Amino acid sequence: MAASAGPGPAAPTHAELRRLAVATLDGNWEHDHTVPSRTLYPHQWSWDSAFIAVGLVHVRPDRAWRELRTLFAAQWTDGRVPHIVFNPALRVGSYFPGPEFWNSAAADGAPAAATSGLVQPPVHALAAWLAHRRAPSEESARALRRLYPRLVAQQRYLTVHRDVGGAGLACIVHPWESGVDNSPAWDAPMAAVPADVAVMRAYRRHDTAHADAAHRPTDLDYARYVAIVAAYRDAGYRDDDLAGRHPFLVECPLVNAALGAAEHALARIAPVVGADPGPHRDRAARITEALVERLYDPVTGTFHPRDLRTDRLIPARTALGLMPLILPDLPARQVAAVVTEACSARFGLSARMDRPLPSHDRTAPDFEPLRYWRGPSWMNLNWLLWRGLRGHGRPDLAAGLRQSMLDLVATAGCHEYFHPDTRAGLGSPAFSWTASLLLDVLAES
Ligand code: 9WN
C-alpha cells in the first residue's frame, strides 16, 4: 500500500518506511541503549528512550526492555530519572554541556554513572505498559516487575520533591525538563533569569557544529540554560526551598499530563506485577483534577503552563496546551475544548490535513517555522496527540494525524523535526524517536 498521495509519485511504500525506521534505530544502537542521534545527541536521553522503547518493541523487543533497564539503572536514590546518562567512552566535548559541567558525582544520591541532574516528561510508565501490551511474554512481565518500583519512585520524586506549587502537580526547574526546550511558552519565565550572553564565550556549543544555528536555540537562550543549571547544581541538585532560591519554576501541561498518564499506566501494570492498582487510579484522578484546576484557562479554552514565580498562566498557545488529551479521564468539557483548539487555524488538525501539526500556534507573531520548538513539527507531539484522539473517540481526526505523520517521513526521512509547511527535514537526519514512533503508527491502522 502506498504511504499517501501527498508527497508525490515517488512516495515510499509502508514496507520501505518500516525498513528505513529499523535501519535508523539499528544505526543508533549503542551497546545498551539507543542514542537519539549520532551527531547531535550521542548519549542516552530519558524521554527519548521511552519513545524509542515504544517503537523498538515492534521489531527488537529485547532491546526495548534493555533501553528502559539501562536508563533506570541511572536513577538517583531520590527517584529522579536523569535526563541524560553520559556514555563514558565518548571524548570530552562530544556534547555541551557535558558530564564535567553537570558534576553529578558531587551530588548526594547520584548513581555511579555520570548524569545530568534534571528530569524530562515521565512518559516511561506509559511506554513500558504499551511495550508489554504489544508483545506480552515472560520476559516482558519480568521486565515490568523490575521496573515497577522504579517507576513508582519516579512518580514519588515528581509529586513530592517537585510539588513546589503545593497542589499536587510537578514543577520543572529548567526548560530542558519540558523536552520542548525553546518553546515560546518559556520566553517570559526565561526573560526573568539573569544571564549575560558573554558567558557563552567560555564554552563551545556542540549543537551548532552539527545543525544550522538559525534552527537552534540562541546563544542568549544557552546563557540562561547554563545559568539555571549552575544554580541548581551549586545547590547540590536539592529540591528543598526551590521557591525561595531557584530562578525558573513552572508547572508544564505536558509534564503533568505525562505524570497523570503514568499513574493510569501503573494502574494497568500493577496487576501484572502483583500490586494494587487502586492507589494509582486515585493518584491519576487527583493529578487530572489539579491539572484542570491550575492549568486550564476557560477563556482561551486550552491549557497553559503556570509560572510559579508570578503565579500566572503563561499566555502563549503552544502545542503543550493540547497534550492533556493523553489523559483518559480528562473531563468532556476540556476534551472538547482541546479538540477545538487543535482543529483551529492555530494547529490545523483535520481528518485530511494539508499541513503537519506545528509545535506552536502558526498564527502567532513569534511563530518560527524553522526554529526547533517554536514552530516545526515533531513526531513525538504528533504521536501523543494521536493517542489522545484515539482514546477520546476521535478516530477520524486520529487517522488524519496518522497520515500526516506518515507523510512527514515519506517526504523527508527520519529527521528530528520538520518544516510545518513544506515538510522539509530539519535538525538531525537520522533521529531515533521519529523512527520508533513511525514504527508504532505503522503498526496501527
Ligand atoms: C537538551 C535528545 C534531546 C530531546 C529534547 C530536545 C533536545 C537537548 C539539546 O534533544 O534537547 O536536553 O541539546 O537540545 O529538545 O526533547 O530529548 O533528543
Is residue 7 scored above 60 in pLDDT? no
* Contact by Cβ (8 Å): 363, 425: no
Question: What's the rounded Cα separation, in Å, for the pair 10 and 224?
Answer: 45
Where residue 28 falls (left for φ over 0; alpha for ψ -120 to 50; beta otherwise) is: alpha
Q: How confident is the model at residue 137 (pLDDT cuts 50, 70, 90)?
A: very high
Question: What predicted TM-score, i.e. pTM, was given to this entire model?
Answer: 0.97
Q: Taking Cα atoms as reference points, which of 132, 102, 131, 125 lies closest to residue 114?
A: 102
Is residue 1 scored above 60 in pLDDT? no
How far is ligand 1, taken at its centre, from the CA of residue 88, in Å?
19
How far is ligand 1, taken at its centre, from the CA of residue 179, in Å?
6
Residue ID of nearest Cα to ligand 1 atom 10? 41
The pLDDT of residue 6 is 52
Whether residue 219 lies in the annotated active site: no
Angle formed at CA 434 by CA 430 and CA 436, multiple of 5 degrees? 105
Q: How confident is the model at residue 8 (pLDDT cuts 50, 70, 90)?
A: low
Question: What's the rounded Cα separation, in Å, for the pair 307 and 302?
Answer: 16
Residue ID of nearest Cα to ligand 1 atom 8? 176
Q: What is the pLDDT of residues 182-215, one digit of tens each?
A: 999 999 999 999 999 998 988 999 999 999 999 9
> What is the mean predicted confidence (pLDDT) over 350-370?
98
Is residue 365 scored above 60 in pLDDT? yes
How far is ligand 1, taken at its centre, from the CA of residue 161, in Å?
23
> What is the mean predicted confidence (pLDDT) over 426-435?
98
Residue ID of nearest Cα to ligand 1 atom 18? 36
Is residue 2 scored above 70 in pLDDT? no
**Side chain identity at 58, as an amino acid letter?**
H
Is residue 295 scored above 70 in pLDDT? yes
Q: In percent, how much of the chain has pLDDT > 70?
A: 98
221 lines ligand 1 (CB under 6 A): no
Atom number of ligand 1 nearest to Cα 180: 15
The pLDDT of residue 9 is 59
Atom number of ligand 1 nearest to Cα 95: 13
The pLDDT of residue 445 is 73
Atom number of ligand 1 nearest to Cα 41: 2
The pLDDT of residue 80 is 98
* Active-site option among 48, 67, 177, 181: 181
Residue ID of nearest Cα to ligand 1 atom 14? 181
CA distances from 374 to 9, 84, 192, 310, 441 (A): 31, 23, 19, 23, 25
Q: How confident is the model at residue 10 (pLDDT cuts 50, 70, 90)?
A: confident
Report the SS3 class of residue 313: strand
Could you tell which of 176, 203, 215, 383 is best to mutate to test the pocket of ligand 1, judged by most ligand atoms within 8 Å of the CB?
176
418 lines ligand 1 (CB under 6 A): no
Could you tell which of 30, 38, 41, 437 is best to mutate to test the pocket of ligand 1, judged by most ligand atoms within 8 Å of the CB?
41
The pLDDT of residue 20 is 98
Atom number of ligand 1 nearest to Cα 433: 18
* Contact by Cβ (8 Å): 164, 353: no
| Beta-carbon-side half-sphere exposure of residue 30 (alpha carbons within 13 Å) | 23
Question: What's the rounded Cα separation, in Å, for the pair 158 and 252?
Answer: 12
Whether residue 293 lies in the annotated active site: no
> What is the mean predicted confidence (pLDDT) over 396-421?
98
Is residue 282 scored above 80 in pLDDT? yes
Is residue 161 scored above 70 in pLDDT? yes
How far is ligand 1, taken at its centre, from the CA of residue 217, in Å?
11
* Contact by Cβ (8 Å): 379, 385: no
Q: Taking Cα atoms as reference points, which of 246, 244, 291, 283 lies closest to residue 262?
A: 283
